[in-house]
Amino acid sequence: MSALAKDVRTCTSSSDLIQKKRALINLTKLIFTSSSADSQPSISESTFPSYFTSSLFPALLKTCTDDKEKIRELSLNLLLKIVGCKEMEGFDFSETLKVFSDDVFKRGFASASPKPFTEPAEEIRLLLLKTTTLLLNHPSIQPAQTSVFSTIISGVIRACGDNFPEVKRECCLCLAKMSKKGASVIKMHAESLVKQLNANLGHQHSKTRQMTVKAIGIVLSADGGVTTNSEKLMIETVLPSLKKTGFDKIPSVRKALITCLVKTLTVALSHFDFNDTTSNDDDKIIIDGEATLRETGEETATTNKSNVYAPFVPQLLSFLLGLCCDEVEDVKKVAIEELRKLAEERKEESIFKFQGGEGDGDITSKFVTFYFEKILMILVTDASHWTSGQREKALSTLTTLIDLTAPANPELYSNLEIVISSLAAAINDDEQEVSHNTSVCAKQLGAKLGSNPAAIKILLPRLDGSQSGMNTPEKLVGSLLILSSILVGSDDECVVNTATDISAALSAGAILESGDRDVLEALLETFENFVDKIGPKWSAIADSKILTLNLLHTSIFLIGADVNYDLRDGTNDILKKIADFCNFSGDVSTLFDGHFVNLVDRLRGDPGKAVVWPNGKDPNLRAFDALMRVAGATGGKYFSSVIDIFESHMNVDNEPDSRLVVMALLESVLNNKQVAALVGDFTGKLINDVVAPNIVWRAGGVASTIRKGEREREE
């Protein structure tokens, strides 16, 4: 050790910067580098530990606070290297940590107005933290050094506000190391720590955000959780910040959030200390296991703590569920696995055995089911949030919640009305992603309910007019689109068993006569999904005749809608499918045979009663127009049931608009040779009672068509 003495003296006594600098560099070489093949580094000598205690460390304490930045830097680097050297693993650094934290660390992060810190160099502040962190991690440091830990924590709280990103990150690592031995001290300063760390969650560097959110989890879970002002801290600081972090664009940050949530939830769900042995290979800076809380020594006094976070479990779980549906598969996979582990740890607790019984779903399902209603209310509220991102996230999370809950969950059924109302409102969202997520959620709801028609039965009264206040275009669209998605997800058996009721609702006047483009487009989508669902099971439907009548009724209103709505081609394709299901080989005209008169009576409103629709845009008149055109020869076959409609509308006292529409319809229908051949018995009546009184309206073309059809019939 005599070789070191000269340089040690130079470091402490010389006033020459260059000499001190050379002395420190030379010390580093002597301690860690052998001078020849026959010699060994000084640190390997058996006397080095005692020399470090008696001479070297006191000298370094002095140079670590030297006026010159370079001297402080070289001194801290040397100390850092000594502490981290394997030759010093058996050395007791307890006193070293105490003295260093009091004389160097504390001084470096003390306030020095107008500057934020006494230590002006950010690189030196980083070295101070790194040295402290390494000392804390040394095996010789025991949990009993409470006063030392308090000194360090006070400095860390201030260091969290450092503008240097690496200092912010080192603070997180320092807390991770301390949590193994000084969890109770972290708990004492938790409120200040969380507030300081919270400010760093918005930092521009993703690595800083990643480490910060993990550090928050460490602080929140230390020694059983925060007890002082915990409710205020969670509501005002923690929950809003964690929620915002769930929207971070960087997957690694969201992945770190999982760790934070799991740590906090583990405390919230436990009545005792826990050992967190999880690890994350992707993060070499903070090891998740460093938050391990000991069940012996200092921490045993806090066993059986109250669950300070218990009221916030639903909110925290909603965040975790949101990560279970993350767009990045790796994040999603980790979140699902951590949720499973949380549930597995609680599987023996009776509170998670809901009334559905032991066989209903796996342990994760039971765990989620227990908190279903509270989580649901959080998500329903967020589904109407003013920001589209929150709405989108809430709906995707709701999908996950429904997917994970037990099929027999009674709370799913008791809150089904709330779920459907929320989905029906969200499906109309201007943001496409929100609307898409709503549709996916409704499909998942249908799949979860399986053969239970509860959701369908809630929606049908909204569509058929029996539930008041639901006939506005916006609400009709919402109900239709949600029904459409639920039908896609539901079991075939469920849809078949309710097919007649569904078809009746889809043919309700409130929908068909609305004339609103959005409503009719939603109706067409629902109509198509419904027909596709029941088609293969058509023969199993008991009231297939009534079902077909309802479907045809809906179709003529869709075909008769404003041509600009572009609904006709889609509806005609659906009619061909129905004709195939009814074994008519796609012949739509034949499909209407047997239902034509009933359809006309439905349009009349009162069977056998004369009817006059006031104008050409009346939905019923347009539907009648569509019926006559699409039914083809069937319209001629049953012409006796509709001739009075032509007569009543062609009365000269009626509005010209509707008269012109009916006149054009009559001419078009009679241009069909099959129809013309079937209406011969009505030729005279049509000319005398329909055409002649309206000769001023250029009815000659119609009369000519009638006479032409009559001649062809006679021939």
Note whether 612 and 711 are same-domain residues: yes
Regarding whether 581 and 456 lie in a shared domain, the answer is yes
pLDDT at 491 over 80: yes
Say what the pLDDT of residue 324 is. 97
CA distance 309 to 224: 10
532 lies in which domain range?
Answer: 450-587
10 part of a folded domain: yes
Last-in-domain residue among 135, 152, 184: 135
Residue 712 has pLDDT above 80, yes or no: no
pLDDT confidence tier of residue 150, bands split at 50, 70 and 90: very high
In the structure, what pLDDT confidence band is assigned to residue 449 with cuts at 50, 70 and 90?
very high
**pLDDT above 70 for 136:** yes
303-342 pLDDT tens trace? 344 567 888 999 999 999 999 999 999 999 999 999 999 9
- Distances in Å between the alpha carbon of 218 and those of 172, 174, 252, 382? 9, 11, 17, 28
For residue 570, pLDDT over 90 is answered with yes
User: Residue 641 gets which letter from DSSP?
Assistant: G
Contact indicator for 443, 424 with CB cutoff of 8 Å: no
pLDDT category at 707 given cuts 50, 70, 90 is low
What is the token pair recorded at 417? 């009305």
195-199, 666-670, 694-698: least confidently modelled range: 694-698
**508 and 535 both lie in a single domain:** yes
Instruction: Kindly state whether residues 715 and 600 are assigned to the same domain.
Output: yes
Q: Does residue 317 lie in a domain region?
A: no
Residue 283: predicted pLDDT: 44
Show which of 587, 620, 643 is a domain's final residue: 587
* Contact (CB, 8 A) for 579 and 587: yes
Q: Please write the tens of the pLDDT for every residue from 175-231.
A: 999 999 999 999 999 999 999 999 999 999 999 999 999 999 999 999 888 777 888
- C-alpha to C-alpha distance for 47 and 8, rounded to whole angstroms: 16
Residue 104 pLDDT exceeds 80: yes
Residues 535 and 633 in one domain: no
pLDDT at 475 over 70: yes
CB 157 within 8 Å of CB 108 = no
Q: Does residue 211 belong to any structural domain of this protein?
A: no
Under 8 Å CB-to-CB from 351, ≥6 apart: which residues? Answer: 370
Q: pLDDT tens digits for 280-305?
A: 444 444 434 333 333 333 333 333 44
| pLDDT band at residue 541 using 50, 70 and 90 as cut-offs | confident
Same domain, 574 and 600: no
Q: What pLDDT, on a 0 to 100 scale, did the predictor assign at position 538?
A: 87
pLDDT confidence bin for 607, thresholds 50/70/90: confident
CA–CA separation, 135 and 98 (whole Å): 10
Which pLDDT score, from 0 to 100, does residue 224 have? 81
Do 691 and 575 reside in the same domain of the chain? no
Residue 576, domain member (yes or no): yes
- Same domain as 582, residue 607: no
- Residues 362-399: pLDDT tens digits? 888 988 998 999 999 999 999 999 999 999 999 999 99
Average pLDDT, the chain: 87
Boundary residue ending a domain (135, 164, 188): 135
423 and 438 in contact (C-beta within 8 Å)? yes
Instruction: Give the CA-trace dihedral at 48, 50, 52, 58, to 10 degrees.
Output: -160
Q: How many CB atoms lie within 10 A of CB 563?
A: 10
- What is d(CA 65, CA 43) in angstroms, rounded to the nearest whole number? 24
Residue whose tokens read 């969950």 = 409
| Per-residue pLDDT at 46 exceeds 90 | no
Band (pLDDT 50/70/90 cuts) for residue 657 is confident
Instruction: Determine, yes or no, domain membership for 695.
Output: yes
How much of the chain exceeds pLDDT 90, in percent? Answer: 62
Two tokens, residue 224: 């059983």
Q: Is the pLDDT of residue 585 over 90?
A: no
Q: How many whole angstroms separate alpha carbon 402 and alpha carbon 399?
A: 5
| 273 or 715, which is more confident | 715
Q: List the structure tokens of 197.
A: 């760390």
**Better pLDDT: 651 or 361:** 651
Count of structural domains within the chain: 3
A 10 A CB-CB count for 491 gives: 16
Q: Among positive and negative, which fits the CA dihedral 81, 82, 86, 90?
A: negative
677 and 606 belong to one structural domain: yes
Highest mean pLDDT among 3-12, 86-95, 552-561, 690-699: 552-561
Identify whether 114 is preceded by a cis peptide bond (ω within 30 of 0): yes
Residues 13 and 82 in one domain: yes
C-alpha 214/C-alpha 174 separation (Å) is 12
Instruction: Return the closest-CA partner of residue 505 out of 475, 482, 527, 538.
Output: 527
pLDDT band at 692 (very low <50, low <70, confident <90, very high): confident
CB–CB of 198/279 below 8 Å? no
The H or E element spanning position 438 is helix 432-449
Q: What is the mean pLDDT of residues 698-707?
A: 53
Q: Are residues 576 and 602 in the same domain?
A: no
pLDDT above 70 (res 705) = no
Dihedral in degrees, nearest 10, Cα atoms 381, 385, 391, 393? -70
C-alpha atoms less than 13 angstroms from C-alpha of 452 in its C-beta half-sphere: 15
Q: Give the whole-angstrom CA distance, residue 49 versus residue 652.
A: 118
Assess whether 601 and 552 both reside in one domain.
no
Q: CA separation (Å) from 182 to 140, 159, 185, 191, 229?
A: 14, 18, 5, 16, 21
Q: Give the number of other Cβ atoms within 10 Å of residue 224's Cβ.
A: 25
| 97: Cβ contacts below 8 Å, ≥ 6 apart | 132, 135, 136, 138, 141, 145, 148
Does residue 636 form part of some domain? yes
Contact yes or no for 569/525 (Cβ under 8 A) = no
* Residue 77 domain-assigned (yes or no): yes
Under 8 Å between Cβ of 382 and 247: no
Element spanning 259, H or E: helix 251-268
Residue 289 lies in a domain: no
